[in-house]
Structure 1
């Protein structure tokens, strides 16, 4: 029986729709592979996912999240997050790894996020989170040290023969780095807070920790305060560089007072000001009253010959 034109048209339309859907799926699969998203990842609603309250990472810096959100808005999420399935029916998925991407995706206005769902034991979840945190470049050394200690404890419970070398190999860090991160956790709370807030670096903390047993807690806290950036600042110069801090520690260990930096002669310090003043006078930019005030100031100030470098000449 011959099919009508309308039936043929309907079948053709359905076939084209199926072909378009298949092509779209292939393109999406290719995009995912290119972006590093595994084939078993699914797009879950962001609102169906909740953070893990036991996540060892405690702080997420707003500027860094905004920068990641801007990148996600431009390029999308390039790496799938990892979650556990809901504990109860219609419950939420629990984040294992990728909380920064989840938070930044919400900031970027996304509705869904590529996600891998895995059945994991509590100890497996904890170990995965700790290992991720230890390797994060944007995490401070205090949080990395805490994560490292906890990961070591987990591995020790699994196998009493676990060594620090085995943990170092697991997270891909050298033994010396592992040792330093582990011992940072023994610093006084006030110094740990300075490092967490960005006012001190992890390298400062390591130098202070190594000296703590010999100098005592009070002394290393005072040194930390001298070396720290001003309150509220995470960038810029430290009060003492790591090298200067180590030198200060060595003097204290020898029982010597640390030398004060030599002050430059007054003439050297004042030279840029003098040159600008002379230029202002020569170009007529100095007002008469300013000129008179300057002359009075110069007449009242007597320069020590030793400061000008002209003594004994």
Structure 2
């Protein structure tokens, strides 16, 4: 085979290889859950966020870096092996609370790539930077929180404060990601003895709170009862006041009427008043009004004299029988 023929075959092979390179490096596909960055001679040129078949200049002029648009989850304090078993990193999760207790806290950070160019070029390892920022944020928030908040009902507030602080740090680092959420997985004391002691303290505190609530309930009940009695007394007093006023008005009306009669006939009215007063002052007594002006005793009984008691049964028959014998 001649040299010329060999050169021709080699040229055709090179041309075919070039065509293959052009064919496979000119067209690319962006999936629905992806975003792409076009890099021209090592410099980010364009960001593609729409899915579909796309065209670019062949390699080595341009190349494509594809990144996911989905939400990522980064764990802090634990990890999973290939078999799905959890691996804890106690040294990483051990931190001190604001009241100087030691706790173990692990969490999950949810984040997304929002600026692909910054994610690719502003940090050598954005995930490692995010992990360090997460450690700094959770330690700062736990370090300013009391242990009760970390172990009981303050977790939601700690999550919110950690998210805000981590978002501010990531924004300062400018690595093209945004924090979607923080979820505390577990916050616990470092050993069983400490956990038992803290549980006992928590139970005592809950018992104290229960007793205080019961005492407040009893106090409110007694206050309500006393208020009810007070209202009843005031109501009765108001009723008595109204009754006394009405009675006084009635007495005034009677007095006015009596006075009018007294003005018309003073002597008769005076005598009648005296008699009525004596009846009220000396009830049930026999009273006689004496007048000795003419030397003759006259009397006026206030009450009718008592009638003699009727004879007992049989007394009349005995008298009649005795009379008959005498005859």
Q: TM-score, normalised by structure 1?
A: 0.23
Select the structure of larger CA radius of gyration: 2
Q: TM-score, normalised by structure 2?
A: 0.22
